Chain A
Amino acid sequence: MEIKKYAVAGTAESCDVQVSVEPSSAGLSVQVKSRVMNRYGRQIKITVLETLNRLGVTSGCITVNDQGALDFTIKARVECVVFRSIDASEKDIPWGGIVQ
């Protein structure tokens, strides 16, 4: 999948994560900020990269603002924002396929 436009998903509420994406010509960059950075910062970045990889995203500027979200919530938000960036988030989602 290729990020076509700016999109954002998630909220700034406790236990949630806000993820925004923007198209980029300079490969993949992931910036993570988290209130539990010292304990889970590394894990958060891995989860985001794994999800992007599964979706086949190879370029884009991804910003992650985490308020203590669990891994599966991070996955959900990353998937949603990527699908939103290509206007394909409302129907025919490949549940159990690249979304898992």
Chain B
Amino acid sequence: MRNAVGREIPDELLNTGYEGYKGKFYRDGTIFQKQSPRVRRYGKPQESKVCQSIREACQQCGAHDGMTVSFHSDFRNGDYVASMVMKVLVEDMGLTDLTVAATSLGNAQDLIADYIAQGKVIGIQTSGVRGRIGEVISQGKLKTPAIIRSHGGRPRAIECGEVHIDITFLAAASADPLGNAKGTGGKHNCGSLGFAVLDAKYADHVVIVTDTLVEFPNLPAAIDCMDVDCVCVVDEVGDPAKIATKEARVTKNPRELMMAEAVADVIAATPYFKDGFSFQTGVGGPSLAVNRFLEKHMTDKNIKMGFALGGMSSVICQMQDKGLVEKLLDAQDFDAVAIEHLAQHSDRHHEISVSAYANPANKGAYVNYLDYAVLGALEIDTHFNVNVTTGSDGVLRGAPGGHPDAAAGSKCCIIVTPLIRNRIATVCQDVVTVTTPGDCVDVLVTDYGIAVNPQRQDLEDCLDKAGIAHVDIKTLQEKAYQILGTPDDLKWGDKVVAIQEARDGTVLDVVRQVISI
């Protein structure tokens, strides 16, 4: 059947209980039963949960063939833990038919691509599919279709039992011998553990992996010892150079600066730009530059940001220190300045879980209160659907992240992207994969012009009033094809290699095996 974004959902999926996407608030107001983990009691007095090795912890937690394990990505590209644990499970213990349900996967977990190719890992559930993992899945080497979810979709799926985690392995910067674990206080800090905390509550078994054992009690802790089975101490949880940069750099690229300024002008022209407004933050491309240009508008109009939501960096922390931002709601930290800031200013810089941030199935995630989301895109089509999952070549290489969540929740969602990248049309006729549906996207800002979604006549009027020129998105797409030449259609095999879930668990799109020329 064709879903609400016009994508064909195969019967084989519908037969397993999946529904096709029906619109952004389709499941709003429905009732469901939350699931809970099957846990072991530890009633006797104990001094320490520290295991001699990761393998010992796995055995203690009943690791077995066919189980589902989970990892979090708060250590980003610098994470060692996921690879370390997978190596033990597959190579040391000889386990097979494993499903990996991570918050995101990328180059740091390249090893898993080999295990997929060897048939040891048969299931992947994740937001990110970057690097070799994406390539290998696109080649059809994963036994079951990968399930790709947004940051908000994952906690939803875990809470209602669609994903059942046997063992979660949670990397922590510091932990005490009984399992109170934090993202700070260690040799290698990541700051917020927003991605980790849910798994600690819902997995049957919880293993903390740290490189810094501290004295009990390691409080206040993001992960509570009462939820922890085992603690493993390793030499290093991650590569410091890749966990976080020293200080996130604002782009100097003149094209990105040009677009960032246009985005700030668009924001300033909308009615939500008033004292106490809220803003989704990130570090990609022009995002930080947008903050800088926004500062000027804020000073001109003498208004403050009520809260910044999402991924923190030095730029937004400094804005807060200057008195321009009231609160920072932090799901992850991108640089050392932000990590330090989180530790120092708990009165105004708060760590939140990814579920609180973006889950569409709880009683109101923070994205629902968001005014502005400024996001990127690998592709965006003339219906304003956005693709951040697959490249223009059809290969899995991106990550929805919080994109669909912030887009759905915000009052004004702005996509900022260059019209063309190399010989790829970012603005195209139909995206390869729908990651964020067009009904959640309001404005597109490119280096060749601005387009407003026709469903937002109110925003069109705002731009007209402010003297900001805009065009039909079709004009932009035609310009892209005129410069690059019209691309050939991709050729697909039959096999479904990945399912792109919408944040509410319905199916937005499927990714098939791409046939390469």
Interface set of A (CB-CB < 8 Å, partner B): 14-15, 35-43, 67-71
Of all chain B residues, which has the CB nearest A32?
A: B517
B485 close to A40 (CB less than 8 A): yes
Please give me the 4 A-B residue pairs with the lowest Cβ-Cβ distance, nearest first. A68-B423, A68-B422, A39-B487, A38-B393
Name the interface residues of B372-416: CB closer than 8 Å to any CB of A. 392-394
- Please give, as numbers and ranges, the residues of chain A lying within 8 Å of B516 by CB-CB distance: 37-38
A41 close to B517 (CB less than 8 A): yes
Interchain CB contact (< 8 A) of A14 among B393, B422, B517:
B422
A70 close to B514 (CB less than 8 A): no
A42 to B491: give the CA distance in the assembly, Å. Answer: 13
A15 close to B422 (CB less than 8 A): yes
A24 to B234: give the CA distance in the assembly, Å. Answer: 61
Of all chain B residues, which has the CB nearest A71?
A: B485
B392 close to A36 (CB less than 8 A): yes
A38 close to B423 (CB less than 8 A): no
A60 to chain B minimum Cβ distance, whole angstroms, is 23
B422 close to A35 (CB less than 8 A): yes
A48 to B403: give the CA distance in the assembly, Å. Answer: 40
B147 to chain A minimum Cβ distance, whole angstroms, is 25
**Do A68 and B424 contact each other (CB < 8 Å), given the known contacts A36-B393, A38-B488?**
yes
A67 close to B487 (CB less than 8 A): no
Of all chain A residues, which has the CB nearest B395?
A: A38
- Please give, as numbers and ranges, the residues of chain A lying within 8 Å of B491 by CB-CB distance: 38
**11 other contacts beyond A39-B424, A41-B488, A42-B517, with CB at 8 A cut-off?**
A36-B392, A38-B514, A38-B516, A40-B423, A40-B485, A40-B487, A67-B422, A68-B424, A70-B423, A70-B483, A70-B484
Say whether B84 faces chain A, with CB atoms less than 8 Å apart. no
- Please give, as numbers and ranges, the residues of chain B lying within 8 Å of A70 by CB-CB distance: 423, 483-485
Interchain CB contact (< 8 A) of A43 among B393, B424, B483, B488:
B488
A35 to B517: give the CA distance in the assembly, Å. Answer: 11
Of all chain A residues, which has the CB nearest B423?
A: A68
- Please give, as numbers and ranges, the residues of chain A lying within 8 Å of B393 by CB-CB distance: 36-39
B184 to chain A minimum Cβ distance, whole angstroms, is 39
B479 to chain A minimum Cβ distance, whole angstroms, is 13
- Please give, as numbers and ranges, the residues of chain A lying within 8 Å of B483 by CB-CB distance: 70
A41 to B392: give the CA distance in the assembly, Å. Answer: 13
- Please give, as numbers and ranges, the residues of chain B lying within 8 Å of A15 by CB-CB distance: 422-423
**Do A43 and B485 contact each other (CB < 8 Å), given the known contacts A36-B393, A36-B422, A38-B490?**
yes
- Please give, as numbers and ranges, the residues of chain A lying within 8 Å of B517 by CB-CB distance: 37-38, 41-42
Q: List 28 A-B pairs, Cβ < 8 Å.
A: A35-B422, A35-B423, A36-B392, A36-B393, A36-B422, A36-B487, A37-B393, A37-B516, A38-B392, A38-B393, A38-B394, A38-B490, A38-B516, A39-B392, A39-B423, A39-B424, A39-B490, A40-B484, A40-B485, A42-B488, A42-B517, A43-B485, A43-B488, A68-B424, A69-B423, A70-B423, A70-B483, A71-B485
Interface set of B (CB-CB < 8 Å, partner A): 392-394, 422-424, 483-485, 487-488, 490-491, 514, 516-517
- Please give, as numbers and ranges, the residues of chain A lying within 8 Å of B490 by CB-CB distance: 38-39
Of all chain B residues, which has the CB nearest A67?
A: B422
- Please give, as numbers and ranges, the residues of chain B lying within 8 Å of A68 by CB-CB distance: 422-424
A75 to B110: give the CA distance in the assembly, Å. Answer: 39
- Please give, as numbers and ranges, the residues of chain A lying within 8 Å of B487 by CB-CB distance: 36, 39-40
Of all chain A residues, which has the CB nearest B422?
A: A68
A69 to B422: give the CA distance in the assembly, Å. Answer: 8
A70 to B394: give the CA distance in the assembly, Å. Answer: 20
B56 to chain A minimum Cβ distance, whole angstroms, is 46
B212 to chain A minimum Cβ distance, whole angstroms, is 42
A6 to chain B minimum Cβ distance, whole angstroms, is 27
B423 close to A36 (CB less than 8 A): yes
Of all chain B residues, which has the CB nearest A47?
A: B485
Q: Which interface residue of B490, B516, B517 has the most chain A CB atoms within 10 A? A: B517
- Please give, as numbers and ranges, the residues of chain A lying within 8 Å of B422 by CB-CB distance: 14-15, 35-36, 67-68
- Please give, as numbers and ranges, the residues of chain B lying within 8 Å of A39 by CB-CB distance: 392-393, 423-424, 487-488, 490
B448 to chain A minimum Cβ distance, whole angstroms, is 15
B194 to chain A minimum Cβ distance, whole angstroms, is 35
A37 to B516: give the CA distance in the assembly, Å. Answer: 8
Q: Which interface residue of A39, A40, A42 has the most chain B CB atoms within 10 A? A: A39
- Please give, as numbers and ranges, the residues of chain A lying within 8 Å of B488 by CB-CB distance: 38-43
B486 to chain A minimum Cβ distance, whole angstroms, is 8
B487 to chain A minimum Cβ distance, whole angstroms, is 4
A41 to B491: give the CA distance in the assembly, Å. Answer: 13
A42 to B516: give the CA distance in the assembly, Å. Answer: 12
- Please give, as numbers and ranges, the residues of chain B lying within 8 Å of A37 by CB-CB distance: 393, 516-517
A94 to B487: give the CA distance in the assembly, Å. Answer: 31
- Please give, as numbers and ranges, the residues of chain A lying within 8 Å of B514 by CB-CB distance: 38
Of all chain A residues, which has the CB nearest B394?
A: A38
A75 to chain B minimum Cβ distance, whole angstroms, is 12
B310 to chain A minimum Cβ distance, whole angstroms, is 30
B515 to chain A minimum Cβ distance, whole angstroms, is 8
A14 to B485: give the CA distance in the assembly, Å. Answer: 17
Of all chain B residues, which has the CB nearest A15?
A: B422
B424 close to A36 (CB less than 8 A): yes
A70 to B420: give the CA distance in the assembly, Å. Answer: 12
A51 to chain B minimum Cβ distance, whole angstroms, is 15
B421 to chain A minimum Cβ distance, whole angstroms, is 9
Q: Which interface residue of B424, B491, B514 has the most chain A CB atoms within 10 A? A: B424
